[in-house]
């Protein structure tokens, strides 16, 4: 959550009052991501304080944004814990601050768990499956904008910044993913709206009676229609690895897959292609981090992610080939 567009408390306060959310008492810039301008906001209304997130979208257009916000409202209406976007009296969810599409959503309770255990992974796995099922009847459709077509466009752009071994790895993996995408097994994968970026820092946990309880998924602004298996793979590549080395963590992986599979049993084609989708998820984030690292945009607050992390994850997934049964602890 970088800050590319400075917003004053006065400017933000106008929007919060128009949404009848109260008077803005605090506005704090956020750092952490790299796509949009984000602020934490607190308002006072009828003697009570309320917490929100104000987001100005730096890459998404006014036309694209309703997909994400209406998806979040749809999921909330189906009892999936997500931040609810706030509408004005006309039912509009997208607003304009400094010519940037803007939204206000509720701030979730709790905090992210950056060192998850098997309990955290099981809760995220089960909620992810419920989210996929809840999205089946969502009426809007938009492709995953960071899927294979974007990889094919972007790899030639970042290739000049890589050393010889990196060029071989990224080129071979891209060719492999194009081959997988053309297969009948891939065509058989079930699809629907996916989060596509459900990392540890995009999930909140509250503490109830001393135990962690998942309080919600957030940051849906990479969402799109794609295979549910890709969404699962993105999660496994973050929640179920060692962050220092990229090495697979067996117990967390078993817990995550088992919880997901209990809610939505995986089909044969999904079981077959999970190893390939793990490689796809690693490739996607290696490419995007290379792009952001070597071709950065200026921002007032910005923490660029290290591209080498997902290079290591991809190397692990590509060299240590594991079947679905091995990954799920069934072998």
Pair (50, 136) in one structural domain: no
Q: What is the mean pLDDT of residues 17-38?
A: 88
Can you give the CATH number for the domain in which 33 is found? Answer: 3.30.200.20
Q: What is the pLDDT of residue 300?
A: 47
**More confident call, 321 vs 90:** 90
Q: What is the mean pLDDT of residues 235-252?
A: 95
Domain closes at, from 83, 106, 129: 106
Residue pair 158/290 in contact (Cβ under 8 Å)? The answer is: yes
Residue 299 lies in a domain: yes
Report the SS3 class of residue 289: helix
pLDDT at 1 over 60: no
Confidence of residue 296 (pLDDT cuts 50, 70, 90): confident
Tokens for 301? 């607050």
Pair (22, 143) in one structural domain: no
Q: Which of 274, 273, 276, 279 is nearest to 257 (CA)?
A: 274
Report the SS3 class of residue 209: coil
Pair (165, 192) in one structural domain: yes
Q: Which of 25, 49, 31, 27 is nearest to 40 (CA)?
A: 27
pLDDT at 32 over 70: no
Domain closes at, from 80, 106, 132: 106
pLDDT at 301 over 70: no
What letter does residue 293 receive in the DSSP assignment? H
In tens, the pLDDT along 193-229 reads 999 999 999 999 999 999 999 999 999 999 999 999 9
Q: Which of 307, 253, 247, 319 is nearest to 283 (CA)?
A: 307
Q: Which of 188, 137, 177 is nearest to 279 (CA)?
A: 177
100, β-bridge pairs: 97
Percent of the chain with pLDDT over 70: 95
Q: What is the pLDDT of residue 187?
A: 97
In tens, the pLDDT along 94-133 reads 999 999 999 999 999 999 999 999 999 999 999 999 999 9
3-state secondary structure 268-286: HHHHHHHHHHHHHHHHHHH
Residue 1 lies in a domain: no
Q: What is the pLDDT of residue 302?
A: 53
Q: What is the mean pLDDT of residues 251-276?
A: 97
pLDDT at 63 over 70: yes
Pair (135, 245) in one structural domain: yes
Domain closes at, from 106, 132, 167: 106
In tens, the pLDDT along 137-175 reads 999 999 999 999 999 999 999 999 999 999 999 999 999
CA torsion through residues 315, 316, 317, 318, sign: positive
Domains in the chain, number: 2
pTM of the model: 0.92
Residue pair 5/56 in contact (Cβ under 8 Å)? The answer is: yes
| DSSP string over 15-39 | HHHHTT--EEEEEEE--S-SSSEEE
Range of the domain at 216: 118-327
């Amino acid at each position: 959550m970088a800050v590319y567009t400075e917003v004053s408390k006065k400017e933000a306060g106008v929007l919060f009052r128009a949404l009848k959310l109260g008077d803005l008492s605090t506005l704090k810039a956020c750092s952490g991501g790299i796509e949009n301008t984000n602020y934490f906001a607190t308002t006072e209304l009828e003697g009570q304080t309320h917490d929100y997130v104000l987001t100005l979208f730096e890459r998404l257009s006014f036309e694209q944004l309703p997909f994400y916000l209406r998806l979040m409202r749809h999921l909330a209406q189906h009892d999936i814990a997500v931040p609810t976007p706030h509408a004005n009296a006309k039912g509009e969810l997208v607003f304009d601050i400094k010519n940037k599409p803007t939204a206000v959503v509720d701030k979730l309770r709790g905090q992210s768990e950056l060192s998850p255990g098997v309990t955290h992974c099981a809760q995220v796995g089960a909620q992810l499956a419920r989210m996929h099922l809840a999205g089946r009847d969502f009426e809007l459709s938009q492709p995953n904008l960071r899927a294979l077509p974007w990889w094919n466009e972007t790899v030639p752009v970042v290739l000049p910044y890589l050393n010889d071994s990196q060029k071989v790895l990224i080129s071979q993996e891209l060719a492999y993913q194009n081959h997988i995408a053309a297969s009948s097994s891939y065509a058989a994968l079930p699809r629907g709206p996916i989060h596509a970026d459900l990392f540890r820092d995009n999930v909140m946990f509250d503490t109830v009676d001393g135990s962690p309880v998942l309080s919600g998924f957030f940051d849906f602004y990479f969402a799109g229609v794609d295979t549910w298996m890709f969404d699962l793979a993105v999660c496994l590549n973050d929640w179920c690895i060692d962050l220092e080395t990229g090495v697979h963590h067996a117990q967390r992986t078993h817990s995550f897959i088992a919880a997901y599979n209990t809610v939505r049993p995986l089909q044969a084609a999904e079981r077959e292609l999970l190893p390939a989708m793990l490689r796809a998820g690693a490739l996607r984030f290696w490419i995007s981090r290379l792009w952001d690292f070597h071709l950065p945009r200026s921002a007032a607050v910005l923490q660029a992610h290290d591209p080498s992390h997902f290079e290591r994850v991809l190397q692990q997934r590509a060299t240590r080939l594991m079947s679905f049964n091995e990954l799920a602890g069934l072998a």
